[in-house]
Structure 1
Amino acid sequence: MERKKQTIIITSIVIAIFLMAALNSEVFSARLDITENKVFTIQGGSIRVMRSLKEPVRITYFLAQKLKNVSTVFRQIEDVLSEYAAKSNGMVTLTIVDPVADEKAAQTAEKYGIPSWKENQSEGRDAEKSFTAYSGLLLEYQDKVAPIPRVLAIEDLEYNLTMRIQAFVENKTRKIGLLLGSQKHDPSVIQQMIEQTGFEVANLLPGQEIPQEVDSVFVLGGAEWTEADLFYIDQYIMRGGKAFFAVEGVQILEGEGQIFALPVENSAILKMLETYGAKISSEMVMEAANPPIALYIDEVGFYNYWFQTFGDFASKNNPLTTNFQGMIFFWPSPIDLVAPDGVKAESLVATSPYAVRIKNQSTLDPQTTSQMYAVNSESKAQATLIATLSGELPSFFKDKPAPVPAEIIARSNPQARIMVSGNSEFINFQRLQGVAQQMPQYMQSLQYNINFFMTSLIWLTNSPDIISIKTRANRDTSLGKIQEDGPRDAAKNFAIYFNLVVIPLAVIIAGVVRYLLRKKKARTE
């Protein structure tokens, strides 16, 4: 009997060793991904792009091996890269080099703009001592190269790889046209952010023809533009171009500690957007301080014209707002959807049901906002902040002569796709940076603004496959998305109670039970 038991044990050990070796081998590469958003699972869109390659893409990961002792994220990056190559059917090869130990690799990293930095040791005798660190990628295909200078997270890794490989396959980099009508935005900062997403930027001017190679146009401001300034934008859309309009319905004037509001009237661009199906109102939106949706400013209190919005108030049917994390808005104007026949208008991001619309309010000082909200609180209702329009958009110049010399006017576009926001402040990087410094508790939400901006450009210029890769890692796990005071406090108390009481108590009980069972067994023997 004892010999039979030993045989079973030895056989089980041999089988276990065989299975572990198989799981570690190149032949049997199946993996179990139990992360919430399957961040280690390569999506079908990426696989289709990789398998459309004519030749293999060579990926080199420049990694200082010491970084693995600092954070587990660098091992995770290796895992995602290995899985990416494994799913490519041989069309992607992966090489990992350490430029700290390999002088040739360091020279290559420097040549392609992959930087080093000083990182502190986190443990051991050398804690607090710094070392040279690298974590960057170089993609090579035929005679083309595409560096990703710094890789510090896995969330956007698959997207960044697939975007660059898609550019290899199409033999072009997608291009975003930038049209600025507002002096408050720094074009160099916006251009840098767009380029980090894998696009090229074409700086455009109103009243000039938009090059055919521009994949989509981002318009900031423009309330002062004439119909002649807008003609080529309209015709670009009518001929199949995509666009994002972020235009104010109310002009904000700041100076000497005061804030003034000036409604925008007789604006050609607002009339054009209304023709398409999105009417930006000359009102502004205020949000509630209870529940705390409005932003809290130290020594001032809640400022109702600055507020957050959450995933609960975003479209559940659009891939752009899949796993929407929320955003922060500054003095936005609401959008009324007035879509003509053949146009589908969708409210993409909205306020909470506690929002109120304010008209003809000239001063916006923080000291008066709570009183203004209280006066108008009986008219609380949800309002659209960002909308999409798709389908057969009519030209703004459909029934009027062209304001510039033009031989042919495109009268409509049956496959149009545009986005409209009643405010451009949500992507004013100087504003975002200032608020982050003044109110660090909102820093993560401000990052969501940038994420949404980037994702919007991807949605306008790419296939659903690409946008699904980009939005997969986006998720809001904060308790802030629970708006009602009661449920939010209950959730917080449950989390604290469960982690500080239930789990330790369960461990103690398990230990006591194990001790009693062992004691009973000892008595029996």
Structure 2
Amino acid sequence: MRSKHLIQFAIGLAVILVLNLVAGQFFFRLDLTEEKRYTISSATKKFLKNLPDEVSINVYLEGELPPDYKRLQTAIRETLNEFKIYAGNKLKYRFVNPFDFSDRKKGKAFLDSLAVKGVRPTSVEANKKDARTVKAVYPGALIFYKQYEMGTILLKNIYEHRNRNAVAEQQMIKQSIENVEFNLVSAIQKITGSRKKRIGFLEGHGELNPLRVADLQSALKLKNYQIYRVNLPYSEIIDSTLDAVVLAKPDSAFSRVDKYKLDQYIMNGGKALFFVDAVGVHMDSVMRGTGSFTFPYKHNLTDLLFRYGVRLNSDLIMDLQSSSIPMNIGNMGNRPNFQPVRWTYQPFINQFGKHLATKNIGMVELKMASTIDTVKANGIKKTPLLLTSKYSKTRKTPALIVYNEAQKKPDPNQYTQKHLPVAYMLEGSFKSMFAGQPVPTKYPYREKHKKLKKDQSQPTQVFVCSDGDFIRNGARINPKKQVVPTQLGIGYIGKNKVFFENRDFVVNVIEYMVNESNLIEAKNREITLRPLDKLRIEEDGTKWQWFNMLVPPLLIVLFGLVWFQVRKRTFARTKKH
């Protein structure tokens, strides 16, 4: 009997050894979580396996953290562990406590240096028994590659505002966790890439000046993009080495020559983002109470966009789901009493088309936008990215827009139009507006470009939004001082900071358009929130802690006693036989 047991044990041991040897020749991992939170995209795996040299990452989300930020820290650590499996020794990381300095001056200098490099703090509320404190955390990382270093933010939105509540905080952390893989791998890609991505902002037709797009440009620079100004009328042609160009609220007519330059840039595979108004309103006159008639913008781009597959309509969108403007509702003593009043011409959007560019985006805001229709364009995929609520309507133009409209309670029965599109992503091989036509005769370089002209583009993308102010940020301007004015972020309202995520949405769009290695696939991840009941934790937390500490060991002891008795009886029966 004993020899039989020894043989069985030897066979079992041999099987285990063989299975280990076979398994050692193959690499596989099983992710049993419902949302596959430990599975990184195939594009990320491929990229990490081919890292050109060693990359080091310092994560500064360390130290004593609130529970939500602990979850973000855990997600970052787990993601970096996954990265190391595929990158091997070419990836190193560590978590650093940014406050771990005994010398206050050195500590302050270090924190200042982090902010300069793009790793900025955010303030969070921390509860300690009956006390509530506010502390700073640094939800970001520095990435080092050869002689280069680059900061990246790993929190969805580090801007603060007074009304940020616990639900918004949890949603922000959720979206941050979903974005960890993309934020890290895209930052590594940018610092290890042979060249930085280059974005051109077109000018020469009354576009928003650099001050008014500074917030977007700053966000792109933090992601290691290079920003250029392109004066279209004075350029021979748009530089094809620009990865994308942005046209922000032109208010004067494009000549046929300038349209040719823009068209041929797209025909050569360039990406373009159009933020173009169909209808304008003088808001200064509206706010003064005198009102303003709408006027059509004569930018002369209608035929170009029509050829690419969309048409901007000469109307204005009104939506019950809208933001507010300050209005004097009556005096308080000798002073006017300004309060926010709903302004239906400024819809906020939380309805998005299904597209990678819209992943993990909160609400965005429109100002005096128009509807967009699609038209026939062979081979072009048209995806609506931004849509109004189901309580919308359009107002035909010309129309008189007056300040006092905000005082009237809107009639919901008139807002019956649903999900009106205001932004489209167009993808495919575009046909040139100048196909079958000669190069414009007034083009100074006409003879040179006769042989270079293309009638059909390579596969590329064009983004069109019917709100020219979509990327316009505020600024406090003091004309008496010759200094750079204070910048206010896109979405700035009143005394609060950022509510709307126009900037993050546009950065998403640009990342999608210029990313050539499909790393944008990492944005497909979705994490389901399973928050604990905080009230029950306070009431029953101690009870369940003791339960978790005592019950598992007792169960093991009980199982051992039962198993011992079963073995004892089995041995006794065997001995009798």
Alignment CA distance shift 1:267-1:379 (3 Å): farther
SS where residue 437 of structure 1 aligns?
coil
Residue in 1 that maps onto 2:152: 148
Give me the TM-score of the superposition, normalised by structure 1: 0.71
Residue in 2 that maps onto 1:165: 188
Residue in 2 that maps onto 1:294: 322
Kept in 1: contact 2:247–2:275 (CA 8 A): yes
CA distance, structure 1, for counterparts of residue 64 and residue 84 of structure 2: 24
CA distance, structure 2, for counterparts of residue 368 and residue 245 of structure 1: 30
Residue in 2 that maps onto 1:344: 381
Residue in 2 that maps onto 1:242: 271
- AA paired with 2:144? E
CA distance, structure 1, for counterparts of residue 464 and residue 252 of structure 2: 17
Residue in 2 that maps onto 1:18: none
Alignment CA distance shift 1:282-1:464 (3 Å): farther
Alignment CA distance shift 1:372-1:111 (3 Å): closer
Alignment CA distance shift 1:53-1:390 (3 Å): same
SS where residue 93 of structure 2 aligns?
strand
State yes or no: 1:421 paired with 2:449: no
- AA paired with 1:92? L
- 1:271-302: per-residue Cα shift (whole Å, max 9, x none)? 22122221112211112x3xxx2335575643
CA distance, structure 2, for counterparts of residue 273 and residue 357 of structure 1: 21
Residue in 2 that maps onto 1:459: 512
- AA paired with 1:284? L
SS where residue 331 of structure 1 aligns?
coil
SS where residue 198 of structure 1 aligns?
coil
Alignment CA distance shift 1:339-1:373 (3 Å): farther
Larger Rg: 2
State yes or no: 1:303 paired with 2:339: no
Kept in 2: contact 1:392–1:415 (CA 8 A): yes
Residue in 1 that maps onto 2:8: none
TM-superposed CA distance for 1:434, in Å, is 8.6
SS where residue 474 of structure 2 aligns?
helix
State yes or no: 1:437 paired with 2:493: yes
More deviation, 411-420/339-348: 339-348
CA distance, structure 1, for counterparts of residue 91 and residue 98 of structure 2: 22
More deviation, 164-173/116-125: 116-125
TM-superposed CA distance for 1:357, in Å, is 1.8
CA distance, structure 2, for counterparts of residue 118 and residue 277 of structure 1: 43
- AA paired with 2:464? V
Residue in 1 that maps onto 2:43: 45
TM-superposed CA distance for 1:430, in Å, is 1.7
Aligned length: 450
Alignment CA distance shift 1:274-1:499 (3 Å): same
CA distance, structure 1, for counterparts of residue 378 and residue 362 of structure 2: 32
Residue in 1 that maps onto 2:252: 224
Any gaps of 5 or more consecutive residues in structure 1? 1-27, 478-494, 515-525
- AA paired with 2:346? W
Kept in 1: contact 2:62–2:95 (CA 8 A): no
- 1:246-294: per-residue Cα shift (whole Å, max 9, x none)? 100012212252453533254322322122221112211112x3xxx23
- AA paired with 1:144? Y
- 1:464-499: per-residue Cα shift (whole Å, max 9, x none)? 732232464699x9xxxxxxxxxxxxxxxxx9xx97
CA distance, structure 2, for counterparts of residue 71 and residue 353 of structure 1: 35
CA distance, structure 2, for counterparts of residue 261 and residue 35 of structure 1: 55
CA distance, structure 1, for counterparts of residue 125 and residue 416 of structure 2: 57
Q: What is the percent sequence identity of the aligned residues?
A: 18
SS where residue 368 of structure 1 aligns?
helix
Kept in 1: contact 2:245–2:273 (CA 8 A): yes
State yes or no: 1:468 paired with 2:521: yes
TM-superposed CA distance for 1:37, in Å, is 7.9
CA distance, structure 2, for counterparts of residue 426 and residue 413 of structure 1: 28
Alignment CA distance shift 1:414-1:439 (3 Å): same
- AA paired with 2:229? N
Residue in 2 that maps onto 1:91: 90
SS where residue 424 of structure 2 aligns?
strand
Kept in 1: contact 2:62–2:73 (CA 8 A): no
SS where residue 401 of structure 2 aligns?
coil
Alignment CA distance shift 1:269-1:100 (3 Å): same
More deviation, 357-366/28-37: 28-37
Alignment CA distance shift 1:236-1:474 (3 Å): farther
Q: How does 1:247-286 map to 2 (within 5 A)?
A: 247-255=276-284, 257-258=287-288, 260-264=292-296, 266-286=298-318
Residue in 2 that maps onto 1:182: 207
CA distance, structure 2, for counterparts of residue 500 and residue 102 of structure 1: 34
CA distance, structure 2, for counterparts of residue 369 and residue 124 of structure 1: 44
CA distance, structure 1, for counterparts of residue 410 and residue 439 of structure 2: 45
Residue in 1 that maps onto 2:567: none
Alignment CA distance shift 1:136-1:190 (3 Å): closer
SS where residue 88 of structure 2 aligns?
coil
Residue in 1 that maps onto 2:439: 401
TM-superposed CA distance for 1:343, in Å, is 2.8
Which of these residues, 200, 204, 218, is aligned with residue 192 of structure 1?
218
CA distance, structure 2, for counterparts of residue 120 and residue 373 of structure 1: 38
CA distance, structure 2, for counterparts of residue 337 and residue 231 of structure 1: 22
Kept in 1: contact 2:472–2:490 (CA 8 A): no
TM-superposed CA distance for 1:410, in Å, is 1.9
CA distance, structure 1, for counterparts of residue 419 and residue 192 of structure 2: 44
Kept in 2: contact 1:222–1:269 (CA 8 A): no
CA distance, structure 2, for counterparts of residue 335 and residue 196 of structure 1: 32
Residue in 1 that maps onto 2:353: 315
Kept in 2: contact 1:335–1:384 (CA 8 A): yes
Kept in 2: contact 1:223–1:264 (CA 8 A): no
Kept in 2: contact 1:335–1:422 (CA 8 A): yes
Q: How does 1:86-125 map to 2 (within 5 A)?
A: 86-98=85-97, 100-101=99-100, 113-114=116-117, 122=126
- 1:181-214: per-residue Cα shift (whole Å, max 9, x none)? 4347623322102122332212222222322221
Which of these residues, 57, 60, 64, is aligned with residue 58 of structure 2?
60
Give me the TM-score of the superposition, normalised by structure 2: 0.65
CA distance, structure 2, for counterparts of residue 133 and residue 412 of structure 1: 51
Alignment CA distance shift 1:269-1:351 (3 Å): same
Residue in 2 that maps onto 1:5: none
CA distance, structure 2, for counterparts of residue 82 and residue 434 of structure 1: 35
- RMSD, aligned CA: 4.6
TM-superposed CA distance for 1:220, in Å, is 0.6
SS where residue 176 of structure 1 aligns?
strand
Kept in 2: contact 1:59–1:138 (CA 8 A): yes
CA distance, structure 1, for counterparts of residue 373 and residue 101 of structure 2: 60
